[in-house]
């Protein structure tokens, strides 16, 4: 059903129906409700192109996927974020565009999107600690929301982030409470803001309990299964290996579990493991009892919140910068247990 047919069904003008659907204040609440109910009952969906012509908008949101020489976008996490964001886009009648860019042409990509009028706003993914995209987009005048934060930028911008520092403080304290002292961190690339904050939380928890972080037990890299395997294999081969490992991704955790088994050890008994990002739609952390103890924060929900925030900025450009800090849950699974009785009692 198109707008003309919906208007005829309601015996209203197309202008009135269009204004009712788009929330214009001069339309009465009674008429607005009547139009909305009819649109839902008859499965009417506004034509995005026609709506764009009426509002002067592209009716599309851009997601630029960085293909970097230094890191790759983790597609499983990105996919769940997009699924959550799409829920909001569909409700608002917006489409989504994806474009791929490299390190050198990312700013040019944003400039091109702005000049062509292809999108009304941008979601920025994977911020580094001093991310140049944020001041660039502010200067460009293109509405945007950042998934994450840039710790070293002192400027106002809208963002949605998980409290990485607190999540890794909590996870580290949980391992310390189990008696572990040799705790390794298998982290993401630490020029990325989330990884920097996670290491900060890890180190703060150790220091507060009187233990110095051991540089030999720290690893940083791209969060792949093979990286998790290789980093864990190296740490487990140390003269004083860790009795517990904390990692930034369930994908790396799968590699860690493989390394533990390859060493003839049992995860949860000989080596405890806590991971983050275990709440992925296609990679469930066990059907009933979670396989991994994990700090859990829904990427899907972060996508939904970021999209709603961006759409609000597009609707009202005068809105001040907004922020949302999400707290992670600590989910207890089968990958953690008390420190083995054979472990040395030395401090970390």
Q: Closest Cα to residue 160, out of 277, 319, 321, 317?
A: 321
Maximum distance among all Cα pairs of the chain, rounded to whole angstroms = 82
Average pLDDT, the chain: 87
Q: Tokens for 8?
A: 């005829």
What digits encode the pLDDT tens for the residues 250-305? 999 999 999 999 999 999 999 999 999 756 666 666 666 788 999 999 899 999 99
DSSP tag of 65:
E
Measured in Å, how far apart are the chain's first and last C-alpha atoms?
67
Length of the chain: 348
Q: Tokens for 249?
A: 């991704």
The C-alpha atoms of residue 246 and residue 73 are separated, in whole angstroms, by: 21
Q: From first to last of the 348 residues of the chain, give the pLDDT tens digit.
A: 778 888 899 999 988 888 887 767 778 888 988 988 888 888 877 665 555 545 567 889 998 776 655 555 555 678 889 999 999 998 888 999 887 776 666 777 888 888 888 899 999 988 889 888 899 999 999 999 999 999 899 899 999 999 999 999 999 999 999 999 999 999 999 999 999 999 999 999 999 999 999 999 999 999 899 999 999 999 999 999 999 999 999 999 999 999 999 999 999 999 999 999 756 666 666 666 788 999 999 899 999 999 999 999 998 999 999 999 999 999 999 999 999 987 665 544
pLDDT score of 346: 53
pLDDT score of 239: 96
Which residues are 61's β-sheet partners?
96, 121
Give yes or no for a contact between 278 and 285, defined as CB atoms under 8 angstroms apart: yes
Q: What is the dihedral of CA 46, 52, 54, 57, to 10 degrees?
A: 140
What digits encode the pLDDT tens for the residues 58-73? 889 998 776 655 555 5
The C-alpha atoms of residue 188 and residue 190 are separated, in whole angstroms, by: 6
The C-alpha atoms of residue 191 and residue 222 are separated, in whole angstroms, by: 11
Q: Closest Cα to residue 62, out of 11, 101, 35?
A: 101
Q: How many CB atoms are located within 10 Å of the residue 262 CB? A: 12
Give yes or no for a contact between 120 and 141, defined as CB atoms under 8 angstroms apart: no
Q: How far, in Å, are 117, 138, 157, 297, 315 from residue 322 at the CA level?
A: 24, 14, 7, 20, 14
**Residue with tokens 């949980």, as numbered in its chain:** 174
Q: Tokens for 118?
A: 């292809």
Q: Closest Cα to residue 338, out of 221, 200, 188, 180?
A: 180
């Amino acid at each position: 059903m198109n707008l003309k047919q919906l208007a005829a069904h309601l015996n209203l003008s197309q202008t009135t129906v269009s204004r009712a659907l788009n929330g214009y204040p001069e339309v009465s609440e009674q008429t607005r409700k009547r139009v909305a109910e009819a649109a839902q009952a008859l499965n009417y969906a506004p034509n995005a192109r026609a709506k764009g012509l009426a509002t002067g908008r592209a009716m599309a949101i851009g997601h630029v996927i960085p293909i970097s020489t230094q890191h790759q976008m983790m597609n499983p996490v990105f996919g769940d974020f997009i699924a959550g964001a799409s829920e909001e886009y569909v409700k608002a009648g917006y489409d989504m565009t994806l474009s791929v860019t490299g390190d050198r042409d990312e700013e040019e990509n944003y400039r091109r999107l702005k000049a062509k009028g292809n999108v009304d706003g941008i979601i920025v993914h994977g911020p580094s600690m001093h991310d140049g995209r944020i001041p660039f987009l502010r200067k460009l005048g293109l509405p945007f929301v950042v998934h994450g934060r840039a710790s070293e930028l002192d400027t106002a911008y809208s963002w949605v982030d998980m409290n990485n520092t607190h999540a890794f403080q909590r996870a580290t304290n949980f391992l310390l409470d189990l008696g572990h002292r040799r705790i390794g961190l298998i982290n993401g690339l630490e020029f990325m803001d989330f990884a920097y904050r996670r290491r900060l939380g890890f180190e703060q928890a150790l220091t507060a309990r009187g233990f110095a972080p051991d540089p030999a037990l720290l690893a940083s890299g791209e969060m792949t299964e093979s990286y998790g395997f290789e980093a864990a294999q190296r740490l487990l081969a140390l003269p004083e290996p860790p009795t517990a490992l904390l990692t930034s991704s369930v994908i790396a955790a799968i590699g860690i579990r493989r390394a533990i088994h390859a060493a003839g050890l049992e995860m949860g008994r000989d080596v405890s493991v806590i991971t983050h990002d275990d709440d992925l739609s296609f990679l469930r952390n066990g059907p009933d009892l979670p396989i991994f103890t994990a700090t859990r924060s829904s990427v899907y929900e972060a996508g939904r919140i970021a999209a709603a925030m961006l759409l609000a900025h597009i609707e009202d450009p005068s809105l001040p910068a907004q922020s949302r800090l999400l707290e992670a849950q600590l989910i207890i699974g089968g990958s953690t247990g008390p420190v083995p009785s054979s472990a040395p009692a030395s401090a970390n």
